[in-house]
Amino acid sequence: MKLSQRVQRVTLSANAAARDLTRQLKADGVDILDLTTGEPDFDTPRHIREAAWQAMEEGQTRYTPTQGTLPLRQAVQAKLLRENNLDFTHDEIVIANGAKQIIFNAFAATLNDGDEVLVPAPYWPTFPDSVRFNGGEAVILACPLEQHYKLLPAQLEQAITPRTRWLVLNNPGNPSGMVYSPQELEALAEVLRQHPQVWILLDELYEHILFDTRQYVNLLNVAPDLRQRALLVGGVSKTYAMTGWRIGYGAAPAPLAQQLAVVQSQISSGASAISQAAAVAAFNGGLDFLPQQVAAYQTRRDALVDILLPVEGLELLQPEGAFFVFIRVAGLLGKVQANGKRLEHEEDVMLLLLENGVSGVAGSAYGLSPYFRLSIATDFDTVVEAGRRIARACATLR
């Protein structure tokens, strides 16, 4: 079989590969703690599950409109106004099989060969691969630990060219856990105002998972004049622990929303009727369950940071949101293990972790090396034990 150039531009998700390897090791009887997956370890709230059951009982099992059912688009519309102070019409909202499909559809609808998309690193791997698959060029902007993994205005200004079509802004960040302040967003907006050809893709999946009483602010709250060239991407996966329900949404000017639906009509048609009914209940049902979950994430974050921060050779910042800890391991490279093997590369560090019973994801998956990501979306005891295993493994190096 001759493969297309398109499919050869991308690879299997590194997150999925790490998760699959961990599952195989566990199946083989290996004692391994899995900190690879960005998936809440809580159950979908009961009222949402009951809404899905009710939808099935009522026969809501047919094809759905490609752009999404009207009740769900209206629920997203109300959510954006209530929680984000953003006013969209339901015609400016499109529903897809997860936020990932919204992102893919957007690039498929807007990119021509050679168009550039600015992707700050560390990034979620889907961003650059979706760009490449659709003929664009992902321009990676390195945002290392020294700048708190955030894009700087001067960096943005320097990167924009006549071919730039999109800037991706993921806030709170995966894998970094960093959150842009209103002042930082306004500084980026000031640059974007000078380049009207650049659209902004705002990935908001972790908007409600914020620590230390931090309040979330969207770029469009501080720069409403950019609304007509912005795509806001959200979903139910992280806030409502609904990863398997596969519902995401995009909110954008109506002409773009319509084209997202055109692309989707040829890929998958409308999202699951039952999942959409559940998502209506999610968006309309309030967030009373969420503070307890966020508090659990913050407790795990605090415990893991307390263990790893003093470890020689590791550098990390305390995450401000999401449920990941991103760790630089440059200080471990060049050190020698007890078996005499020298740590030369990031991959050697990941192997060291595996040999000591911890599975994470290498920083190269997110565009920065040498780093690795640990997910705290698992129980407290697992997070703590994983931290201790990493600290013990580092202590054996010389």
pLDDT in tens, 286-307: 999 999 999 999 999 999 999 9
**Same fold flag, 5-43+289-395 and 46-284:** no
The CATH classification number of 46-284 equals: 3.40.640.10
| CA distances (Å), origin 200, targets 113, 195, 237, 340 | 19, 11, 22, 49
pLDDT in tens, 160-175: 999 999 999 999 999 9
Predicted confidence at residue 28, as pLDDT, reads 83
From its phi and psi, is residue 372 left (phi > 0), alpha (psi between -120 and 50) or beta? beta
Predicted confidence at residue 320, as pLDDT, reads 98
Would you say the pTM of this structure is higher than 0.85? yes
pLDDT in tens, 4-55: 998 998 887 777 777 787 888 888 888 999 999 889 999 999 999 999 999 9
Predicted confidence at residue 236, as pLDDT, reads 98
Residues of the chain with pLDDT under 70: none
Predicted confidence at residue 397, as pLDDT, reads 97
Q: Is 47 exposed, middle or buried (0-12, 13-18, 19+ CB in 10 A)?
A: middle
Predicted confidence at residue 294, as pLDDT, reads 98
Output the six-digit token pair for 321. Answer: 């949101």
pLDDT in tens, 209-222: 999 999 999 999 99
The CATH classification number of 5-43+289-395 equals: 3.90.1150.10
Q: 257 and 93 in contact (C-beta within 8 Å)?
A: yes
Predicted confidence at residue 167, as pLDDT, reads 99
Q: Is 333 exposed, middle or buried (0-12, 13-18, 19+ CB in 10 A)?
A: middle
Predicted confidence at residue 224, as pLDDT, reads 98
Output the six-digit token pair for 275. Answer: 């999942």
| CA distances (Å), origin 251, targets 81, 198, 221, 248, 257 | 12, 17, 14, 10, 7
Per-domain boundaries in the chain: 5-43+289-395, 46-284
